[in-house]
Structure 1
C-alpha cells in the first residue's frame, strides 16, 4: 500500500516530515503532537517499530 501511495502524484506533500521553520509555521509542533509521513511509516515498518498493524 505504501509503495502505491508514494507513487501517486498527490502524495508528494506527505512523503517527508514537515519542516515547520522552512514552511513558516513555527507553532506546528504545538498543534500536531504526533506528526507522521509516508517515509517515516515505511522506515518504522522496515525496522520493526510497529508491533502490529
Structure 2
C-alpha cells in the first residue's frame, strides 16, 4: 500500500509540474520584460531625486 500511495501522489504531481512549466514558459518572457522596464524607469529617476 505504501508504494501505491507514493505512486498516486507522484501521478497527481506530474500534471501540476507540467502546467507550472508551461505557465513559466509562456508568461516568463513577458514578466521579465515588464520587470526590466520597471528597473530602467527606477534607475532613470535617480538623478532627478538627487538634484
TM-score after normalising by structure 2:
0.30
- Work out which structure has the larger RCO, using CA pairs closer than 8 Å and 6 or more positions apart in sequence: 1
TM-score after normalising by structure 1:
0.29
Greater radius of gyration (CA) = 2
Structure having the higher helix fraction is 2
